[in-house]
Amino acid sequence: MARLGLNLLTTEPSARDAEVTRTIAMGKGVRLERIISHGQASPDGFWYDQAEAEWVTLLSGRARIRIADQANEIAMVPGDTLLLPAHCRHRVAWADPDQPTIWLALFVDGDLKVP
């Protein structure tokens, strides 16, 4: 029987203290995550360096992403999408402290291409 799952825009009170990540769906070589932050940026000097390719969109809030070896930060608003190949080092430089920033991130083993 098909039933509605989690509403992705439902925030979690604990996200005020730390980023909250929740796995939304999983398949072979595929993982979908929802991440909520309230102004939390990545710790200074920390870079995500992932074995999987990641596609990410912003469902609410505002944020800026920094890519290693890339001069400008990437500002994201709801609906914006970003493809991060495996081992593309990146960090969250800023997330809006005044509202929940909700990410939907798809992680895939191997290559992910945007047509």
Please count the residues of this chain forming the interface with a copy of itself, following the rule CB under 8 A.
49
Q: Is 62 helix (H, G, I), strand (E, B) or coil?
A: coil
Told to check if 29 binds a copy of itself by CB under 8 A, we report yes
- What is the spatial distance between Cα 85 and Cα 108, in angstroms, rounded to a whole number? 10
Q: Which of residues 48-87 bind a copy of itself (CB under 8 A)?
A: 53, 55, 57, 59, 65, 67, 70, 74, 76-85
Told to check if 91 binds a copy of itself by CB under 8 A, we report no
* Geometric angle at alpha carbon 52, from 26 and 85, rounded to 5°: 130
Q: Is 74 helix (H, G, I), strand (E, B) or coil?
A: strand
Place of tokens 């825009």: 9
Among 40, 24, 43, 22, which residue's Cα sits nearest to residue 99? 40
Told to check if 7 binds a copy of itself by CB under 8 A, we report yes
Told to check if 24 binds a copy of itself by CB under 8 A, we report yes
The contact set with a copy of itself (CB under 8 A) reads 1-10, 23-30, 32, 53, 55, 57, 59, 65, 67, 70, 74, 76-85, 88, 90, 104, 106, 108-115
